[in-house]
Structures are given as structure tokens and as C-alpha cells.
Structure 1
Amino acid sequence: MNNYKFFTLSKHTYSGLYVVNQKIFWILIVLFSIVSCKKEGAGGIGMFDLKYTLTYDLKDKGQVLSLWDDIHTISTLQGVVNREEPRLFVNYVVESGIEIDSYWWNKYRQQGEWLHGKDTIVYNDIVTLIEAYQNDFDGVVVYDSDIAATSNVASAVAGIENLIAIRYDKSPGSLYDRLVAKGPKLPVKVWLIHEDGTPLFSGQGDIPGTNRKSTGSIKNDPYIWFIENYMKTNRCNGKFGAYYIDQKWRENPQATVVNHHTLTNHDFFVSKRAFFFDLSPWGDEPATDDPEQAVGTDLATLKEFLSEAYRLNKGEKMCHIGGFPAWAFKYTTHAGGSHDDVPTEWEFSRIISAYNAFKDADAIGYGALANASFWQHFPLEEKYAQKWVTQDELKKRGYLTEDGKVDCENREFMIFYVGDYDASSWITQRTPTIWDHPDRGKLPLMWSISPVLERRAPMVMHNFRKTATRNDYFAAADNGAGYLMPGMLQEPRDISGLPCGLDAWAEHCKKYYDKWGLSITGFVIDGYAPGLSSKGLDCYASFSPNGIVPQKVPLTLLHGNMPVLRSDEDIQQEPKEAAQRIAQRVADRPIPFHWFRNILKTPGWYVEVMDELDKINPNIELLDAPTFFELYRIWLKQNPDAANGGIPVQ
């Protein structure tokens, strides 16, 4: 790294400092004396490289434990010390051979950027790191290695109580041994296990520390304990929840990419004093990780979490849930359940939406995200405007006749939903390989990105806008400023019994759409929820006036002045096959406007598809988003049957 003052700390050197030379010795002493102060500007930004854990043997249980312990403890430390200022940064996530955290760090170390000139202190040892920040947290929450759910409860408690989470393990050399039993002997403020190592939770009798009877599930009882002690006492922040896998990950760490323990994702939610959970959304079978529980126990606890969050938010604010069903590990056919992956995704979305909650979908594959607690302090601009097209411009470009009619003769208009960018982790990991592709800008593309991702990945969102070409236009991803199923906001809400949540959703979305210059919602996943009612469409018209693309609507519709187009197929094939399928769908459809969804495709893929498509049907035109939706709106006004939803779906 360049352009900054660089120091290294190690526990094996004088006062923890590596003395570069005597000339600057006293400067280093002064820096060390203030490194534990709470002002980032005084001591510099702490740096710690966690990539050593990527070399661990995942078949070795001891190394898996060490990986888990180091990353979990450091992530909770980050959440606490980065709450008010950006003070601790880690390097961990690697994708396609690219060190993602270094990629973003280096981008904003450049001249004139946010991190330029900031002092840093590099820590090479986890104990030294913890000791350096010891004055910034109040102690430790210790959790039970044998009760998986306690790791998530520990993260939640850490955020609320200003603690770091450490797994109980008296083995010589364990992190607990080095930090609690020995070394700095950090004080334990909350025990989620008895001090002698016996379980605090048994799944029987009364739940300790509460007036509640056991759920009969040793998995669920710790969550009920948390709800009683932190949510019902109004100590938890109901605006944020974290849905990440618990310690069960250690039983099958090779089920997918190694970083999908998603422990690095905890830091942001620790900083927000969020609740953490890992529960099945299914009410028709026991959770696959707790097969002895009564059917529906996980679902009941999930609903209690969501109900309490709704109460804390007074029904006025939406709850932002980071995470996604860990389908490779739990709750699906992959783990012995009866439900497939997408149905599990949709059922979870259906449930949380009934309580005014949405997810920031850190899904398997690219689900790991580090340093969100650090980047949350990135200074965004007040607004990022986008220009809409005028009818005069459409006439000059030959899309409208002189009398204002859409010229559809021998023309088929098409747009790609360039997605799925509904997760902070996905946009952070895939920018180098997708956004930075040299073919970006050759074609008009509608990049569909959830604006609420500015909370955890503001530096990515800013970079998109500052490096966009004239052919890059932005719409909101599914299903607005967050991924929920809007039909579940509409009354009646059988799952929750709560009043209509459409106003809360509209208010939430409006501020993000306004800030990011958005007026199109590129896709609305209805899933297992009801389709949008007239009130639901009114809701979207209030913040997405230039168009929406839901699943459960007529083929064409004009709602007030908002164009509504029914979504069509996902196109994920190789370019030649993709072009053939697009051409076939265009030929089959009775209207001249066509939408296709694509997931994590590079600009080069789109160029190849369009080259192939031109060979099959040169009358198909790929349009920029404003042109597509404005032409569609004008066409709807000129075709009453289409505007009223009268054209049958093919």
C-alpha cells in the first residue's frame, strides 16, 4: 500500500512496537500511547490480515475451530470499535483470485479520495490487536461451543453490551485461553454457558434468566432468552436483524465457499445493536439442524423476533435484515429437508415481509462481506441524479412519429434486467469482475441495484456512479430499497395480523430513490405472496413512477401514469443459446416490448448475445432504460386494451 505512514505492531517487540529506526522511535512511542484512544484520527486505522485462515485445513477440526474463533471475535471487535468512526479494517475476502478488501481499500487510498493520507497501524497477532483496543470495549460474552445458536446470541449481546464474543474453550492455546484465562485476562460480563463449562440451556424446564418455559428445543431457548432480556426490555435495535449461519457451519465447512460462515458480515450488525438469528422459515417440518424439535418451533421463534422488531419500530420503520437462508447447510433438500432452495428463499421473504422487514440478501456464492462497519462511514454525496428522456428526444431519434406515436413497424424493443444486485456482499465482491469489464459501455444496460445497499457498501454505490458511462443507467433491484414481497404488506396479513405496511414501505423507499435518482423498479419478485393490489400499485407509483416489472400482474398495464410490464424469462445460457431463446420469446409475445432477467453476467456476455441476436433477428433493439419505459408508457396510452391489462399472457 502506498501514500500513508506505515507502522507494524507485534507482541514480541518493545511495548508492542516494531522500531523502524531510532530517528522515529519517540514518534512511535507517542503513537502507541494513544493507539487505544477512541479517536481514529489520533492513532490511525488498525489493519489486520485474516487471510491466513484461508490456508487452514477444513478437514482438521482444530483448525476449523481456530478459524471460527479468530474471525468471530475480530468481527465483533470491529462492530464495537467502528460504531462511531472507521478505526479497524481487515483483509479477508478473496474472489476469483482478487483480494476484495484490498481492492476497495486501494481504490480509496488514491490522491483526493477518502482514505488518502490516513495513518495506519498493522497488527500481526490477534492478542496484540485485542489488547490495543482493550479500552474500547467492556469485556467478553462467552458462548457454548456445543449449543450452536449461542454464537449468534453472543454477537447480538456483544453489540448491545459493548463486548467481544469468545467461544468457551479451555484447551491450551485456544483464543479463550489466550484472552480470558491468560494474557490480558479479559473480564467476562455475560456467560451463555456456566463458568464450569456445563450448558446453561438444556431445552427443558424453565429457560434460565426468564419466566418462560422451555420451547423443548435447545436451539431455540437461547433465542427466547435474548428476546426476553434484550428485545422486550427495549435494549435491542429493531431496525436491524442479522440472519447468518450459527456454529453448525463447522460441521460442514466445505459445503460451499469457505467464507460462507459469514462471520465477517457480523460487524455491521454488531455496530447497529441488531438481533441475530438462524432459523427455518418452514412450519411443516422440524428445522433440519434440530430434528427433535416440535414442528414449527423455529418458525414460532422467528415470528417472535419479527414481532418484537415491529413493536420496537412502532410499525413506522422497516427492519433491515442482512443474510439469506443458508440453503447448502440447512432447511432444504441439501440438508435432508423436503423443500428446495428457491422455495425456501421465497418462504423466508414471505414471512419477514408480513412484519415490515426486508433482506439485504447475502446469498451463498458471494455472501461474505467484510468491513461494512468501517465503510458505513464513507461520505456519500447528497444526491446522484439521473436524466430522463423527453418526447422531443425520442422524435429526433426516430422512435416517435411526428404526431407522437410509437414507431413499432418492424421493430421489437428489449431491455435486460442486469441483476441480481440486491445484496451488499454481491456488489462488493463482483465489481472487479463484472463492473470493471472492458466491454462495459458498449451497450445500453439497466443496472438494477438496490439503493439501500448504501448502508453497508456505500463505497461501491459511489464508485458505480462516478465510473458509469453514458450507456450505464440505474434502476432499483428487487423489490425496491430492499428485498421483500410487497404483497405481504397488503391487508389482510394473515401471518402477522398487522395493519397495512404499504405506507411504511413507500416512505422507506422514497428517500433512497430520491437520493440515487431512481424512478424504475427493475423487477418485483412476488414469489409466494399475493400480487400487487390497486393500493400496492399506488404505493409503487409514489416512488417508482416510471415503471415496475412484477411477476403477478397482467402482461401489460398502465396504473395511473406508471407503466407496468409483467416479467418474462430468466436468460442465463451461453450467448448463442441465449440469443436463440430471446428471439423465440420475442416471436411468441404479442407486444413489441420485452424484458429479460440476467444474473451476474458480464458486459462481455451481453455484447456476445446481441451479436448473435442480430444474426437471428436484426429488428430487435436493445434500448436504454428511459427510452424503453417512456416508449412503453406512450404505447400503453395509445393502446387502451394494453393499458387496461386486456392482452392475454403468452
Structure 2
Amino acid sequence: MNFNQLMCALFMLCYGMLVASCEPADSSNKLYTYTLSGDTTADAYDEAVTVACIQGILNRDATQLYLLSETYDRPAYWLDTLSASGKWLEKKERTPVATLDELVSLAGKQIKGAIIWDPEVPASLNVATTLAGLEDGIVMSPKQADLYLANWKLPIIKDFRGMFTGNETGSKKNDAYRWAIREFLETGRCDPHWLCLYEDAYMTRKKGDVSYVVTRDWPVRNKSFVYDLSPWGDETPLDDPDQRLGTDLETYQLMLEAVQKLTKGEQMTEVAGFFSFPKYSNIPGYESKHDPVPTEWETVYLISPYNCYQNTVAHLCFNQSLHAQAPVGELKQGRPEQKEPEAGKTYLCILMADYDSATPLYDFLPKHWNDPARGEIPLAWGINPNLIETYPDVIQHFYNTKSANDFFTADASAAGYMNPNRIDSASLPLFIEHNKRFYNRLDMSLSPMVLDWDEPTDAVKDAFTQFSGDGFATIVIDFHDTGGKVPEPHVWEGMPVMELINSACNFSTPQQTAKEMSMEIPATSKGSESTFYFFRIVWTSPSQVIAALNELRKLRPELDIEVVDPYNFFHLYKSTKG
């Protein structure tokens, strides 16, 4: 090598080192964290909206951004739990990001621009969120845009101010959603597997309530349609009292029709989120004729014929866009050894119920799961298997830490909350395949809390035998007064079918719960015949359940009570009655 060649080689080496030093460091092992203030102000609300959009963009194809809160400790709990030895976040290097400016700089060119929503039309926040997912944009209020846009040098993708006037429907709110339906659903731009029922800014922004703001990373990541509409056609909603009666419901149905057309009968659609209690039911401040529970049921009644199922309570569900990417292995829970029936027994089974949606799974279940008495008696824990798409690592944690006396079943109503009787017969094969996939994924074969307006039809029972052959129980409430009734206990094609008893569901004290249970068990003895009672108890610790059962034994000393796991409960019933 001559002198010139040597100098050239040295130059190229130095140049390569310089270029390498200018390239961004490998961030695959970094987990950036951003902490929301928790301030109850409109400014804090606006910040959370923008941050959620950035998170959805950054976490679409990678696990980069994790949000924490100064006032809500559950995100920190799960970050610590899932960073423990052997867990999937163990080797992630946490790197705090202190300011919104730094976060926007971190995202860089991944953010394609800004979308400005119109505070005069609170629904435009949801329309803007939908567009943010489709265009990789961040949603900003006009005040935020004035503060930041010049410094961030972001183009404006869309400015919704003054766009929705009510000229189309007489309602600015419904004009906004109907425009979005045409632009985003009828054109096929949104992913029809998801709808997000997120409360808009009408009541929440002025209070700084970010419950359905921190969740917006989810629709941005998944390119989902976001909405907030009333299921009722017989009264106007609180947020739009001057609309023509039934306008919200008509828009709701237009949206569902558009989504069903997109799915082409090939997939079901999850509706993530809950209706707004204060806008659409008789929470103080709004004289609605409808209570909250009937409003919940009406929503499910409305969406079920369109092959939609609900993941109801989903507020304050942080970091879904990151959790959803967890590499989860095979989930197995096994089956208990089968018991032989004993004459004269009073068999009880307890469903620890209502962990069927994201918030109860994410926030409520850890409180009761960590109870020291868990494992002392067999319990069924109702978690809906479709939540494996949202919080797979959270579900795996519960599977990994279960005792031999903990058993996971579906909750309301199967792999998602819907009314099976409302599903069109032509869609039952889709319903079966949907549930098979999720039940197999979570090693489930029980459906102990099917919610419907009437007893299951023969076709519905046939469908459940395909994925829930070990047992089926139902709660029937006929809010439409059409003659709905609870099924008589029986065995259908090998699948036990019975009622899930709901009277003791709202736990107050062990004594009160024991009284409610006792009222369901007849005083007259049936001699040597065994009896079976399946009770639903909501959001209660094992310690409290055990205390209630002890009180029941004091109240009814004549009963030979045995608490059994759900598999043996249905097996014993089938053995004695089948």
C-alpha cells in the first residue's frame, strides 16, 4: 500500500467513525417514560391528548414509550411487575422524557403533522383522534397549536374549527360523526376490528378528566374509529339536547352498518369503552328516564346484531399500545381431578365476576388477586379471553401466579360481551370461530356468565357446545318486557346449562351476602338429592367471600355445603342430573 492509499484508508476509517457517531443510538433496548401531571385542568387534558397520540405512533411497530402518572399508581405497578427477573421488560433501559418539547423531538419525523379539533364541537376531538391514527398526526387544541406549532415546525393536517355547523343533521355533533363515517369507514381506511367508545371533551376537558384520554394511544396505534353516541332513540342526550329526537341513534346505526360492511362477515368487531354515564343515563344533573344498567344493556343489545362485542369499562387503561406487543407464550391452566357426587350435598360455586373488560382486569383484579386468602377455596375468576389482544402480559401474570384453586373462565358473555340471541343465524359460524380462537388461546371451556334478554335458543346452545362444552350459565334480564325468562337447568348435547345467580353480586358485608345466598337455597329438604347453586360476586376479595361462606354455614347449619371449582361444579351437576 503506497502513501496515498494509506491516507485514503485512514480517511475512510475516520469518516466511517464520524458517521457512526452521528447516527442515532440503538434504541431497541430503551423504554422512554413520560409522566402525566395529573392536574385537573384543561391544559393538562390537552397535554394528555397530544401525548397519547405520540405514544400510539411510537408504539405502532415498537415498544418505545410508557406513560406514568403522578396521581395514579397502577402504570408504575405494572411496569415494576413486568420488569422483574424473567419478565419481558426486564432488560429495557428506562429513559425519562421530561417535557412535551423533548417528547416531540424524540418522535421526530414519525409525527407527520397536527390536527386541530374544535372546542365548540366536542365530538371533533374523537374525529381528530381517528384521523391522527390514519395520518400519524397529533391532536391539538387551538390553544396548544398557538403555543407549540411554530416551534415544532409541524404542518397542519386538518383544522376542524368551524367545519361542523349542523347543516346536515341539525346537530354539530352528528354532522361530525357522519362526516367521519363517510371519510374513514365507508372508504375502508379504519381497521374494522376495533371501535372505540370514548367520552369526548364535552364534560371532561374542563375537569381535566383524562380517563378516556390516556387510552387514545390504542385507536391511534390500531387506526380505529372513535365515537361517543347515545344508544337511546326516545330522548335527547345531555350534550346535545336540541338535536332531532333519535339523531344519535341513527348515526350509531350508520356507523355499525359501515363497520359490518367492512368486515365482510370475516371478523367480529370489539367496541372498547363505555357509554358516558352522565350524558346518557340518569346520573345527577341529567333527568334521563334510563338508569345506567339498562343503558349498558341497550348498548349491547344495539351492537350485537352487527357482530360487535363490548369491552366495556376501559377508562384509565394506560399503555395498551405497549402491553399489546408482549411476547406471551402458551397459556395453560389445566383441569382439576373430577369428583364423585355425594348424596345430600349442597354444592356451591363462586364466580369472582366482572373482570371482563380492560379496567377491571388492569386495575381492580390486582387488588383482590394479592389477597393472602386466595387459594384457600376453589374460585372461578371471570376474565374475557378477548382481552389477550389488549393486555396479554397482564393475563400471563395472573396465569403464572394462580394457585391450584384458581380457575379462569370467560365472563360477560364469552370472548366479548354481546347478546348471543341477537346474533343473526348466518353469523353464528363466525361467532363460533371467534370464540374458539380465544378460548383455545387461554385454555378455557366454560361460559358461566352469558348475558342476554331471554333464555338461549337451541341454535345458541349448539354454538356454545363448540367451545364451551364444560358448562354454560346465564343471567337473563328482559328490559324490553318481551317475555324473557331464565332457562331451567338441563344438559344440552353434553353441556350443562343453568342460571348464574345474581342476587348476591354486590358485596356489602359477609352477613348480608350470606343472607342473600341463603334466600336462594330453599328451606325444604330434598332428602338425598344434591343441589347446585352458582353465585356471581363482583369485585370482592377471597377473604370476604370466605367470610360470607362461613356466615352462610352459621345461618344454615342443616346444609352440607361444599364449595367446588367450576369444572367440578358442572361435572357434578351433569353426573347427577344428566
* Offset of residue 229 of structure 1: 1.1
CA contact (8 A) 1:389 1:626 kept: no
1:23-34 map, 5 Å = 34=24
Q: 1:482 aligns with which of 409, 412, 416?
A: 416
| Alpha-carbon contact 1:93-1:101 (below 8 Å) kept | no
1:568 pairs with one of 495, 498, 501 = 501
Q: Is residue 2:441 matched to residue 1:515?
A: yes
Q: How does 1:5-20 map to 2 (within 5 A)?
A: none
SS in 1 for 2:192: coil
* Partner of residue 147, structure 2: 178
Give 1:581 deviation, angstroms: 2.0
Q: Over the residues paired in the alignment, what is the CA RMSD in angstroms?
A: 2.1
Secondary structure class of the residue paired with 2:277: coil
Q: Which residue of 2 aligns with 1:377?
A: 325
Q: Which moved more, 1:564-573 or 1:285-294?
A: 564-573
Aligned to 1:397: none
Cα deviations across residues 473-499 of structure 1 (Å, max 9, x unaligned)?
1111110111111111045xxxxxxxx
- Counterparts of residues 439-588 of structure 1 (less than 5 Å): 439-491=373-425, 500-526=426-452, 529-552=453-476, 553-571=486-504, 572-587=507-522
Displacement of 1:287: 2.0
2:185 corresponds in structure 1 to 231
Equivalents in 2 of 1:106, 1:332: separation in Å? 40
Assess if the C-alpha contact under 8 Å between 2:331 and 2:399 holds in 1. Answer: no
- 1:414 and 2:348 matched: yes
Q: 2:353 touches 2:539 (CA, 8 Å); kept in 1?
A: yes
Question: Aligned partners of 1:531 and 1:290: how far apart in 2?
Answer: 37
**Hey, what's the Cα distance between the residues in 2 that align with 1:505 and 1:222?**
32
8 Å contact 1:386–1:518 — kept in the other structure? no
The amino acid of 1:384's aligned partner reads K
Please tell me the residue identity of whatever aligns with 1:67: A
Q: Which residue of 2 aligns with 1:309?
A: 259
**1:425-440 → structure 2 map (5 Å cutoff):** 425-440=359-374
CA distance in 2 between partners of 1:32 and 1:127 (Å): 21
Normalised by the size of structure 1, how large is the TM-score? Answer: 0.80
| TM-score, normalization by structure 2 | 0.90
Partners of 2:308 and 2:123 in 1: how far apart? 22
- One of 280, 294, 298 as aligned partner of 1:343: 294
Q: Report the equivalent of 2:10.
A: none
What is the rounded CA distance, in whole Å, between the counterparts of 2:392 and 2:503 in structure 1? 28
Distance in 1 separating the partners of 2:556 and 2:22: 68
Matched residue, 1:623: 564
Is the deviation greater in 66-75 or in 328-337?
328-337
Other-structure match for 1:83: 60
Q: Which residue of 2 aligns with 1:152?
A: 126
Which residue of the partner structure matches residue 246 of structure 1? 200
Structure 2 CA distance, aligned partners of 1:32 and 1:120? 22
Inter-CA distance 252–588: structure 2 relative to 1 (3 Å threshold): farther
1:112 aligns with 2:36: no
Q: Deviations over 1:210-252 (max 9, x none)?
A: xxxx011100111111111111111111110100100112367
Say whether residues 1:602 and 2:502 are aligned partners. Answer: no
- What code does the residue aligned with 2:182 have? E
Report what 1:286 is aligned to: 236
User: Which residue does 1:48 correspond to in 2?
Assistant: 34
In the alignment, what sits opposite 2:480? none
Cα contact 2:69–2:75 (8 A) shared by 1: yes
d(CA) in 2 for partners of 1:504, 1:352: 16
Q: Is the 2:35–2:70 Cα contact (8 Å) retained in structure 1?
A: no
- 1:414 offset after TM fit, Å? 0.6
1:315–1:32 Cα change, 3 Å? farther
Alpha-carbon distance, 1:107 to partner: 1.0
Distance 2:358 2:441 in 1: 18
1:77, distance to aligned residue in structure 2 (A)? 1.1
Contact 2:123–2:200 (CA<8 Å) still a contact in 1? yes
The 2-side partners of 1:264 and 1:329 are apart by 20
User: Is the 8 Å Cα contact of residues 93 and 259 (structure 1) preserved in structure 2?
Assistant: no
Given the superposition, is the C-alpha separation of residues 360 and 65 from structure 1 closer, same or farther in structure 2, using an over 3 Å criterion? Answer: same
Q: Could you list the runs of 5+ residues in structure 1 that have no partner in the other structure?
A: 1-26, 59-63, 170-174, 194-198, 205-213, 395-399, 401-405, 492-499, 638-650
Q: Distance in 2 between matches of 1:414 and 1:629?
A: 11
Q: For 1:78 and 1:433, locate their aligned partners in 2 and report how far apart those are by CA, in whole Å.
A: 27
Counterpart Cα distance in 1 of 2:366 and 2:23: 39
Contact map agreement 1:114 1:378 (CA 8 A) in 2 = yes
Counterpart for residue 19 of structure 1: none
- Report if the CA contact (8 A) 2:59-2:65 is conserved: yes
**Equivalent residue, structure 1, for 2:173:** 219
* CA 603–225 in structure 1, closer or farther in 2 if over 3 Å, else same: same
TM superposition shift of 1:134: 2.0
Structure 2 segments unaligned to the other structure (5+ residues): 1-16, 477-485
1:497 aligns with none
Q: Deviations over 1:375-407 (max 9, x none)?
A: 1111111342422534xxx2xxxxx3xxxxx32
**C-alpha distance in 2 between matches for 1:385 and 1:440:** 16
Q: 2:193 corresponds to which letter in structure 1? A: K
Alignment of 1:626-645 (within 5 A): 626-637=567-578
How many angstroms apart in 1 are the aligned matches of 2:397 and 2:262?
34
The amino acid that maps onto 1:605 is Q
The alpha-carbon deviation at position 573 of structure 1 amounts to: 2.8
Deviations 1:114-155 (A, max 9, x none): 111212321111121112102212111111011010000111
